[in-house]
């Protein structure tokens, strides 16, 4: 009888002790810093011509080159900077127009995929797997049974998780609440940011951007006018929803001597010797060795617009005047050093 009375007390005490351990574990776990980065992007493998419908050559839209690449919308700004066909097209139409063309090619492609990347995963676009990703911070890709590709990043045994990192922690994981990040600002007079559940905030007109020095540090940037972070962050914010870095350092553009940021777009004011801005002032192009006036009659001039692309001009009698606009037929002398130009057909020919 005494045993039956004591047993429930022992069981109750054991249950309470186990519950306290669970609560203690949950408290420690809740204090660990875990920043989710579920990235939404649109990706597809492209095998198409980069066609410039705003410019005609012999009555047909000009082809600036061929694109055979797996591309995501978030990667387009960097792709425009590095791809030769895109650089040529940018000299003719401007970076913003070429970026819009590429976005249309990706978003309107019948095989495009809307990708959601797991926590600790970052995009690695491949033609056979546009939504491909790799895992970071010690995590490994995990493929569910029966699936063709991984869908998550796991921390494999015997390693354990600690504050968003997967590794060996023989002394356990620290339970202290992470200290708030160092609060930095490029601009004097900006009020100190207040840390909220979604991360810190900046004053009106400024964006929270990451910094190279640390994964949890940030700075407040005016991406509309900042010449070194024009149009967006150079390093993504480490807080909240992940957005790719789309900013441009206008001072680091090829052959640029000076530039400013106007309404989130780079505007080149001067180029290195031997180069000049195009008509959109966003690319520096080489000047011709003899930039003086020319008089060409019944001749053909050819220039390389990209892999396998040539444009031919005939019967030019005047120096090229810069013309930007829709449906302009390329006829006449085109001067690469001053961007794209069109010479109108002389009267009487």
Please name which of 94, 77, 335 lies closest in space to residue 230, comparing C-alpha atoms: 77
The SS3 of residue 207 is strand
In the chain, the N- to C-terminal Cα span, in Å, equals 121
CB burial readout 239-251, b (16+ within 10 A) else e: beebebbbbbbbe
Q: What is the pTM of this model?
A: 0.43
Q: Spell out the domain ranges in the chain.
A: 39-166, 251-285, 288-342
Q: Between the CA of residue 306 and those of 66, 335, 337, what are the distances in Å?
A: 8, 16, 16
Residues 37-71 pLDDT 10s: 444 889 999 999 999 999 988 889 999 999 999 99
Alpha helices of the chain — where are they, by DSSP H? 2-31, 76-82, 84-93, 95-107
What does the DSSP 8-state code read for residue 75?
Answer: G
Provide the β-strand partners of residue 115: 41
pLDDT tens for the chain, residues 1 to 349: 444 554 554 455 455 544 544 444 444 343 333 333 444 889 999 999 999 999 988 889 999 999 999 999 988 998 998 898 998 899 899 999 999 999 999 999 999 999 988 888 888 888 889 999 989 888 999 999 999 999 999 999 888 888 888 888 887 776 544 444 444 444 333 333 333 445 678 888 888 888 876 566 788 899 899 999 898 888 877 776 556 667 888 988 888 999 999 888 899 999 999 888 888 888 888 886 333 333 333 332 333 333 333 333 333 333 334 333 433 443 333 344 444 444 444 444 4
What is the three-class DSSP state of 145?
coil
Q: Tokens for 228, please give them.
A: 């070194």
């Amino acid at each position: 009888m005494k045993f039956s009375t004591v047993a429930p007390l022992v069981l109750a005490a054991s249950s309470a002790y186990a519950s306290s351990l669970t609560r203690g574990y949950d408290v420690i776990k809740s204090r660990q810093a875990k920043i989710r980065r579920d990235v939404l992007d649109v990706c597809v493998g492209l095998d198409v011509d980069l066609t410039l419908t705003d410019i005609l050559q012999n009555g047909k839209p000009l082809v600036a080159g061929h694109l055979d690449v797996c591309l995501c919308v978030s990667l387009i700004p960097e792709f425009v900077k590095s791809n030769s066909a895109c650089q040529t097209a940018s000299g003719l139409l401007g970076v913003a127009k070429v970026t819009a063309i590429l976005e249309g090619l990706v978003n309107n492609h019948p095989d495009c995929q809307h990708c959601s990347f797991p926590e600790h995963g970052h995009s690695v676009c491949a033609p056979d797997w546009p939504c491909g990703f790799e895992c970071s911070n010690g995590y490994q890709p995990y493929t569910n049974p029966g699936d063709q590709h991984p869908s998550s990043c796991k921390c494999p045994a015997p390693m354990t998780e600690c504050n968003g990192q997967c590794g060996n922690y023989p002394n356990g994981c620290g339970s202290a609440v992470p200290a708030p990040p160092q609060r930095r600002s490029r601009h004097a007079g900006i009020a100190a940011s207040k840390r909220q559940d979604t991360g810190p905030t900046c004053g009106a007109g400024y964006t929270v951007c990451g910094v190279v020095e640390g994964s949890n540090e940030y700075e407040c940037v005016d991406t509309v006018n900042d010449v070194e972070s024009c149009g967006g962050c150079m390093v993504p914010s480490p807080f909240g929803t992940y957005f790719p870095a789309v900013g441009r350092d206008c001072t680091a553009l090829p052959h640029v001597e000076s530039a400013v940021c106007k309404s989130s777009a780079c505007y080149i004011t001067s180029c290195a010797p031997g180069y000049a801005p195009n008509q959109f002032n966003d690319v520096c192009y080489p000047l011709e060795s003899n930039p003086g006036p020319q008089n060409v009659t019944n001749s053909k001039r050819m220039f390389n617009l990209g892999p396998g692309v040539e444009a031919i001009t005939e019967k030019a009698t005047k120096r090229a005047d810069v013309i930007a606009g829709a449906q302009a037929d390329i006829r006449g002398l085109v001067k690469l050093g001053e961007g794209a130009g069109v010479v109108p057909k002389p009267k009487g020919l």
